[in-house]
Amino acid sequence: DRLKPLIDLREQVVSFAPQPVITEDNLVVNIDTVLYFQVTDPKAATYEIANYISGIEQLTVTTLRNVIGGMALEKTLTSRDEINNQLRGVLDEATGKWGIRVNRVELKAIDPPGSIKETMEKQMRADREKRAAILNAEGVKQSQILTAEGDRQAAILRAEGKRQAMMLEAEGQAKAIETVFGAIHEGKPDPQLLAYQYLQVLPQIAQGESNKVWVIPSEITSALAGIGALIPNGTPGRVPQP
């Protein structure tokens, strides 16, 4: 027997050249593979196969074509883990008789045709632009909602402030009238004089924006009734002098 070179029993890594593979939807893709294996039986690796590296490479190519041939391009691009696991299982079983254990298989690159890559890039750009437009529109929408809400709150606050001001103004005028007529009432003046003075004050009271209802004291009502009773009889009423 002639001497055989020493066999490395450590885990080895071998990278194979890109292989053209046809997908289920009849597109040709080039796939790079990296294989991690280890010789577990030097005798079998020596006597069962002349060149186990070449044998592993050819077996990887045929297995890869079988696996990818059952997948469409889109699934091929998104199912690397699934492809890796299928390749490792098939290769490990097939190389077991050669004293080889396949630990891991990795797809380094999946290169679709140029026209497909161009189409994919256009679609990716369109998707990015669409997402950007959606985000921009959402931002504008939220801004308009916040602006409208702010305007609404401001209008409510302005209306509430105006209402409070009108109420305070009306309350102040009512207090003033009540104070004046209280003081006059304590002096026991002539009711006709009160009516005359009240009629003089009415135009000033009417100028207030908040005055919708006038409150006439009972004394003034009686005096006005007395003045009204004199007019139909043709008796001119003399305006009392203060």
pLDDT at 239: 47
Structure confidence by residue, pLDDT tens digits, 118-170 = 776 677 777 777 888 888 888 888 888 888 888 888 888 888 888 888 888 88
Q: How confident is the model at residue 237 (pLDDT cuts 50, 70, 90)?
A: very low
**What whole-number distance in Å separates Cα of residue 172 and Cα of residue 168?**
6
Its sign, for the CA torsion 111, 113, 115, 119, is negative
In b/e form, how buried is each residue of 17-38, taking b as 16+ CB within 10 angstroms?
eebebebeeeeebebebebebe
Angle at 37 between CA 8 and CA 4, to 5 degrees: 30
Q: What is the pTM of this model?
A: 0.47
| Coil/strand/helix, residue 65 | helix
Structure confidence by residue, pLDDT tens digits, 210-226 = 555 555 555 556 655 65
What element of type H or E holds 108?
A: strand 100-111
Task: Give the closest residue to 227 by CA, choosing from 238, 216, 241.
Answer: 238
What element of type H or E holds 46?
A: helix 42-47
Answer yes or no: are the C-beta atoms of 105 and 80 closer than 8 Å.
Answer: no
Mean pLDDT score across all residues of the chain: 78
The contacts of residue 8 (CB under 8 Å, 6+ apart) are: 39
Percent of the chain with pLDDT over 90: 11
The contacts of residue 103 (CB under 8 Å, 6+ apart) are: 11, 36, 37, 38, 88
Structure confidence by residue, pLDDT tens digits, 6-36 = 888 899 999 988 888 888 888 888 999 999 9
User: CB burial class (10 A; 0-12, 13-18, 19+) of residue 219?
Assistant: middle
pLDDT at 235: 47
| Residue range 181-199: mean pLDDT, rounded | 62
Structure confidence by residue, pLDDT tens digits, 58-90 = 999 999 999 998 888 888 888 888 989 989 999
Structure confidence by residue, pLDDT tens digits, 37-57 = 999 999 898 888 888 899 999
Q: Report the 10 Å Cβ neighbour count for 87.
A: 24
Alpha helices in 100-190 (DSSP H): 114-186
Q: How confident is the model at residue 234 (pLDDT cuts 50, 70, 90)?
A: very low
Identify the bridge partners of residue 109 per DSSP, sorted by sequence position: 32
The contacts of residue 105 (CB under 8 Å, 6+ apart) are: 33, 34, 35, 36, 60, 84, 87, 88, 91
Q: Show the domains of the chain with their CATH numbers.
A: 12-112 (3.30.479.30)
pLDDT at 101: 93
